[in-house]
Amino acid sequence: MKIISLLTVTLFLAMAAPAQPPMAPPAQPPMAPPGQPGFQQRLQAIISKQDAPPAVAAKEPVNYLIRVDWKEPKGDPKFLEVLTTEGNFMLDTIQKTSVKINNSEIPVTLKFNGTLNPMNDEKARLQLFLGRTVPYVTGSYGGGLGPSASYSQMSVGLQSTFIVTFGKTLVIQNDENGEISVLVKRLKD
């Protein structure tokens, strides 16, 4: 009985062994010992790989001035300027103008954000959102002190992506509601 069990285990191992991948270390070229030809060249190649400069030299950071001008049909021209470097920027602020609801002045907020990606020393890709929240009346009701109104706010604006040339004004929106232009300047030391 022991012989049959031993033969069964041996037969099983003989069948399972070919299914296993060989366990060999990865092949590496032989290294010549110190003093032999080729050793100094291989050692120098290893050292030079470690001391090699990076493939791409880092760019010097630059500041950019982004100016947006807008003209409304019944209002004074307005503008805003943001100083940034390449990448994302965001500005949330309150405009001077407000809307009067229930004898209260409701502020209008202004939002300006986007991403500036310079392509070279002359041009950049500018993705931006320029918008504001505008309060509006949603209903009215009579109260003890007189009529009142409820209001909500709506976000309106322009979102777009375009190529700008540094130092040149670009009109990005123009209709009966007004005109919006953008100017990006690359500031040098």
pTM of the full structure: 0.61
pLDDT at 126 over 80: yes
3-state SS assignment for residue 145? coil
Q: Give the domain ranges of the chain.
A: 63-187
Confidence at residue 4, expressed as pLDDT on a 0 to 100 scale: 60
What is the separation of C-alpha 74 from the centre of its chain, rounded to a whole number of angstroms? Answer: 36
Whole-angstrom distance, CA of residue 47 vs CA of residue 28? 18
Which of 61, 171, 165 minimizes the C-alpha distance to 123? Answer: 165
Confidence at residue 185, expressed as pLDDT on a 0 to 100 scale: 96
pLDDT at 186 over 90: yes
Q: Tell me the H-state helices in the chain.
A: 2-16, 39-51
73-91 confidence digits (pLDDT tens): 788 888 999 999 999 999 9
Alpha-carbon torsion 24, 28, 32, 34, what sign?
negative
More confident residue, 111 or 76: 111
Whole-angstrom distance, CA of residue 62 vs CA of residue 188? 7
4-61 confidence digits (pLDDT tens): 655 555 555 555 555 555 555 555 555 555 555 566 676 676 666 666 555 555 678 8
pLDDT at 119 over 90: yes
